[in-house]
Structure 1
Amino acid sequence: MMQRINKNVILAVLTAASSLFLLFQLYYFKYYISTKNGPAYSKLKGSFSSQESAQWRVVKNFLGLVSSHNVPVYLVDALVLNLLDKDLEQLRSSPDSAPSECQYFCKHRDVTTFALLDKIWEHKGNLFRSAEKMGFQWQKYEGKDPRLEGMDDLSGTEIPLHYIFKMAAHTIHLVVFYERSGNYLWHGPLRLKRNMDKKFAPFRKLQFGRNAGAYNRAELLLITADGLKVQIPKEPAQFLKEMTHSEFLECRYKEARAFFQLYPDDISPEGIEFRKKAKSLLHLTAFTLDTLGISFWLSSGTCLGWYRQCNIIPYSKDVDIGILIQNYKSDIIPSFQKTGLTLKHKFGKVEDSLELSFLGDDDVKLDIFFFYEDDDYMWNGGTQAKSGKKFKYLFPKFTLCWTEFVELKVQVPCETLNYVEANYGKNWDVPLKIWDWKSSPTNVQPNGMWPVDEWDNVIQLY
């Protein structure tokens, strides 16, 4: 009898203890967790996994951390921005409405990415001490400051390029942007040094850092999403478009210095004056084409000058750019004429071998070569005015990257060496002052002749 009573008592005690523990959990969630996570979190009616709610809390903790230290970060995460962009009008019109479910920051992913403009932040250790107290682990990734490099000084100065904050199973990637002299924002690559933990974060899944990148300045918009106040680019779709072609190539100052040791630079008054005029023409060209929404890249001798000597070749006497033929617009010619340039010649037609040449008041020529794409290569055409002969210049297929050239953010072929070698051969690094456009390029080939009855349209000299 006594044994039976003891069993009943024990069972009752265990049942009461379980009930009390359950009540304690409910109380703890209601009065601690929901308060800690903010009222918006408790109003989310949708259901999501503990992993998804955990990553929301990590993002919230990070935003709270940077806000308490006045570090103005903004969201650059492609996955989240894409979701926000679809609902942007609704988020703008009802900024304070309580969310019905966690729609953006609870979507499963391993990393959430933010950006920071370096000049508006002081590198204070308090932020990182606070991060550690909150439970974050963090790492800083540095690299050389390209803004201090030049022909006279190869800087070894290190600057912070990326920060990784990690809590639980979620990673916050903070990308540091810097202002460059071409009036754009730049971020560096993320490179792990030999002694760094390669398993600290899912580095292969980072959206930024595989290469350096260049972006236009983005106007920011403060929104509330999933109960979190966060700054985003005002035009998310435009920023996402930039992300797809943001790769940046730095000028090769080290190689340029070696080049000038073999072939001293032209510092004559004539050479200096030409470079000044060519720089002005290139800036005018970029402004005019940007107004038209037409992208271009440095081509021919101008591209060679950037790649070989980080400057305009003083004896080239012109500025060369390339444009994809599908980007041609009929108002290119009148737009350049409005800037004061005069049309020197127009060769070819949109369907075949189009080429435009303009002349400025200072006698520096702008040559625009339109590129066509075939299955295995890309090409631009040339025309000999007196004979009607056509020429074709073949290039391996290439993509476009940004660079900084004569204080201008401008595009060049990413596969620059292949591009330059196609045009100038393996000895591209040896200067040639005598150049015949019909026979000197290693990638030129005959392309027939224009029919005589088309000459008035395809050979226009002014």
Structure 2
Amino acid sequence: MGLTSLIYQNKSVILFCLVTYILFWLTIATFQQSTNRNKNQQLRRLKYRSDSTFSFILDGLLPLKVNLLLIDPYVLQYLFIDQFSFDKLEKELITFGIIDEFVEKFLQSFQGNNFSINISKNDLSNHKISTDHIFIEYKQKIIHLAVFHKYKSFYLIEENTISLSTNIQLSYGDTLRAVEPTEIAVHEYSFFYPRDVSHFLWLYETSKFLHCSQVLANRMENEFHLYQNTSQLNVTVVPMRNIAYALNKLKKHYWLAGGTLLGWYRHCGLIPFTQDADFGLFAEEYDESIRNHFLGNPITYLWGALGLVNDSLEFRLYTGRFTLDLFWAYREGDHRWCGYQVQRAKFRRTLPLLETVCSCDLFGSRFSIPCSPIDYLDGEYGIDKWKNPLEKNYTWVNMKFHSLWDDISWMYATRLYTRQGKLRRDKVAIDWISKHFNYSLTSIPSFLNILPNEPVVLPPLKTKLVYGSPIKRKKIKKKRFKSSHRNQIK
């Protein structure tokens, strides 16, 4: 048998051995490169750590194999946004997060002979002691470990209860705060940090956490027999989470508004007979990314855009079973206002400035709310009037008639979309506009899908628009109550 024939008959075995040989040496080479890289990192770290107090403390913590997540807003900005070196950081205290299930192991394993340790604890209702904060001090530098307590789909960091130096301002522990799970990466000094630092810092601005009124929620059930509607929750939870998630990713501040906010605070859920959900947004943060996200969205799609970007803008989203409204709030002096449209009449609801928003729990997820929800509800419904359910003759106390859309504005103030995100041109869209329009429409003009650079010129009005006659006011008022009453029966 010739050599060629022998090779041919055993080609599979030879090929396997060759591939194995190559993979073996590739593995050896990769391992050597990794080892050399780790050695270089360690040498580089030791070079800078010799005079770093923070590094000395971390050297004592990291061997315990307890994952530390850098959450200090100042340090995250310093390292990953401003791109400065950790070794040159001048700060008295740095805050890391630690999962509560690792705390006991950490306290048992950590030998703090060279360190001063202070622990903030909290007595829970079930007579258990909760460790909330650990302060490890060495040479006037402090590593602060803020404990993440699992709370439904996110984490809570409790308020610190022990005294600290007056010049220390805590970023976590100053108040109760919520932290959402985040993707992480590893720093060269072996601690973890949020992979998307910019988004983590943006969420921190709204992380102050508020609880609903369990006292009022119990009263709604015990005295008024108003219970959470399970079938309603099943069609509400997913679309509300979808909206909150999208607005957070787009870095658009929002808050639960109107009857949705009232449902959260008074019922610790939803008002049982509500038929939609309301979100408020800052008008100055608007851009087309919001419209583009919800056009044709498979969960909550943009059904109608009412108003203009600079005047009374409202998005109506729909799931096929449930309506969700996004209202933009415009700043004006010492307050804000958002528009409410009834036929061609524009109403305005006055709101507080809402310079910041906070966090809450609803359906086990984190949502944003006004930081002073009681003041917000007092302004919408009247002082303390919202604490009792009102089922008849409800009206907004902060809503006033403002003006009428003129013909040109009206053509832009109502745009309807299909589930696929296309401008509707069917009879429904034509009737919606022409019903309160001075002209007959046979089709929807294509220019309505975008805002023109120059105004569209229409012929002179056939009739003068008048708002205020007794008959018309009565009809509009009745319609308004019907429209607002559908989800605001209190």
Q: Same fold (TM over 0.5)?
A: yes
Q: How does 1:230-379 map to 2 (within 5 A)?
A: 230-266=191-227, 271-290=229-248, 292-330=250-288, 332-333=290-291, 335-339=294-298, 341=300, 345-362=304-321, 364-379=322-337
Q: How far is the alpha carbon of 1:417 from its aligned partner?
A: 1.1
Q: How far is the alpha carbon of 1:403 from its aligned partner?
A: 1.4
Compared with structure 1, are the counterparts of its residues 87 and 210 closer, same or farther at alpha carbon in structure 2 (3 Å cutoff)?
closer
- Of 401, 406, 412, which residue of structure 2 is paired with 1:446? 401
Q: Tell me, what secondary structure is at the counterpart of 1:338? A: coil
Q: Tell me, what secondary structure is at the counterpart of 1:67? A: helix
Q: How far is the alpha carbon of 1:340 from its aligned partner?
A: 5.6
Q: Which residue of 2 aligns with 1:216?
A: 180
The 8 Å contact of residues 81 and 198 in structure 2, kept in 1 or not, is answered as no
Q: How far is the alpha carbon of 1:301 from its aligned partner?
A: 0.2
2:158 pairs with 1:191 = no
Q: How far is the alpha carbon of 1:108 from its aligned partner?
A: 3.2
The 8 Å contact of residues 242 and 299 in structure 2, kept in 1 or not, is answered as no
Q: How far is the alpha carbon of 1:203 from its aligned partner?
A: 7.1
The 8 Å contact of residues 275 and 314 in structure 1, kept in 2 or not, is answered as no
Q: How far is the alpha carbon of 1:162 from its aligned partner?
A: 0.9
Q: Deviations over 1:376-398 (max 9, x none)?
A: 1011011111xx22111001111
Q: How does 1:389-404 map to 2 (within 5 A)?
A: 389-398=345-354, 399-404=356-361
- Of 86, 100, 107, which residue of structure 2 is paired with 1:118? 100
Read off the aligned partner of 1:425 and give its amino acid letter.
G
Looking at structure 1, the residues matched to 256 and 300 of structure 2 have their Cα atoms a distance apart, in angstroms, of 19
Q: Tell me, what secondary structure is at the counterpart of 1:319? A: strand
Q: How far is the alpha carbon of 1:325 from its aligned partner?
A: 2.0
Compared with structure 1, are the counterparts of its residues 210 and 125 closer, same or farther at alpha carbon in structure 2 (3 Å cutoff)?
closer
Q: How far is the alpha carbon of 1:163 from its aligned partner?
A: 0.9
Q: How far is the alpha carbon of 1:443 from its aligned partner?
A: 0.9
Compared with structure 1, are the counterparts of its residues 168 and 266 closer, same or farther at alpha carbon in structure 2 (3 Å cutoff)?
same
Q: How far is the alpha carbon of 1:206 from its aligned partner?
A: 2.0
Q: How far is the alpha carbon of 1:345 from its aligned partner?
A: 4.2
Q: How far is the alpha carbon of 1:372 from its aligned partner?
A: 0.7
Considering only aligned residues, what root-mean-square deviation do their CA atoms show, in Å? 3.1
Looking at structure 2, the residues matched to 288 and 172 of structure 1 have their Cα atoms a distance apart, in angstroms, of 34
Read off the aligned partner of 1:174 and give its amino acid letter.
L
The 8 Å contact of residues 239 and 300 in structure 2, kept in 1 or not, is answered as no
Q: How does 1:83-102 map to 2 (within 5 A)?
A: 83-85=78-80
Q: Tell me, what secondary structure is at the counterpart of 2:296? A: helix
Compared with structure 1, are the counterparts of its residues 300 and 74 closer, same or farther at alpha carbon in structure 2 (3 Å cutoff)?
same
The 8 Å contact of residues 392 and 444 in structure 1, kept in 2 or not, is answered as yes
Read off the aligned partner of 2:94 and give its amino acid letter.
T
Compared with structure 1, are the counterparts of its residues 286 and 237 closer, same or farther at alpha carbon in structure 2 (3 Å cutoff)?
closer
- Between 1:305-314 and 1:134-143, the stretch displaced more is 134-143
Q: Which residue of 2 aligns with 1:207?
A: 171
Q: Which residue of 1 aligns with 2:441?
A: none
Q: Which residue of 2 aligns with 1:82?
A: 77
Looking at structure 2, the residues matched to 313 and 157 of structure 1 have their Cα atoms a distance apart, in angstroms, of 34
The 8 Å contact of residues 110 and 202 in structure 1, kept in 2 or not, is answered as no
Q: Which residue of 2 aligns with 1:97?
A: none
Q: Tell me, what secondary structure is at the counterpart of 2:241? A: helix
Read off the aligned partner of 1:422 and give its amino acid letter.
G
Gaps of 5+ in 1: 1-37, 46-51, 92-102, 146-153, 193-197
Q: How far is the alpha carbon of 1:222 from its aligned partner?
A: 2.7
2:366 pairs with 1:409 = yes
2:411 pairs with 1:456 = yes
Looking at structure 1, the residues matched to 330 and 127 of structure 2 have their Cα atoms a distance apart, in angstroms, of 42
The 8 Å contact of residues 202 and 251 in structure 2, kept in 1 or not, is answered as no
Q: How far is the alpha carbon of 1:353 from its aligned partner?
A: 0.7
Q: Deviations over 1:65-91 (max 9, x none)?
A: 322322221323334333322575xx9
Q: Deviations over 1:110-133 (max 9, x none)?
A: 2122221224554454235x11xx
2:390 pairs with 1:424 = no
Gaps of 5+ in 2: 1-41, 417-428, 430-490
Q: Deviations over 1:89-148 (max 9, x none)?
A: xx9xxxxxxxxxxx53454332122221224554454235x11xx222222213367xxx
The 8 Å contact of residues 318 and 365 in structure 1, kept in 2 or not, is answered as yes
Read off the aligned partner of 1:135 and give its amino acid letter.
N
Compared with structure 1, are the counterparts of its residues 233 and 343 closer, same or farther at alpha carbon in structure 2 (3 Å cutoff)?
closer
Q: Deviations over 1:221-278 (max 9, x none)?
A: 3333xxx5433333434433333332222333244224433322236xxx33123222
- Of 95, 118, 141, which residue of structure 2 is paired with 1:139? 118
Compared with structure 1, are the counterparts of its residues 381 and 106 closer, same or farther at alpha carbon in structure 2 (3 Å cutoff)?
same
Read off the aligned partner of 1:111 and give its amino acid letter.
L
Looking at structure 1, the residues matched to 287 and 393 of structure 2 have their Cα atoms a distance apart, in angstroms, of 31
Looking at structure 1, the residues matched to 249 and 171 of structure 2 have their Cα atoms a distance apart, in angstroms, of 30
Compute the TM-score of the two structures, normalised by the length of structure 2: 0.68
Q: How far is the alpha carbon of 1:441 from its aligned partner?
A: 1.1
Q: Which residue of 2 aligns with 1:174?
A: 145
Equivalent pairs, count: 373
Looking at structure 2, the residues matched to 342 and 220 of structure 1 have their Cα atoms a distance apart, in angstroms, of 31
The 8 Å contact of residues 272 and 314 in structure 1, kept in 2 or not, is answered as no
Looking at structure 2, the residues matched to 369 and 87 of structure 1 have their Cα atoms a distance apart, in angstroms, of 35
Looking at structure 2, the residues matched to 167 and 70 of structure 1 have their Cα atoms a distance apart, in angstroms, of 20
Compared with structure 1, are the counterparts of its residues 157 and 442 closer, same or farther at alpha carbon in structure 2 (3 Å cutoff)?
farther
Q: Deviations over 1:165-198 (max 9, x none)?
A: 222322221111133323x333222134xxxxx3
Q: How far is the alpha carbon of 1:159 from its aligned partner?
A: 2.1
2:51 pairs with 1:62 = no
Read off the aligned partner of 1:223 and give its amino acid letter.
H
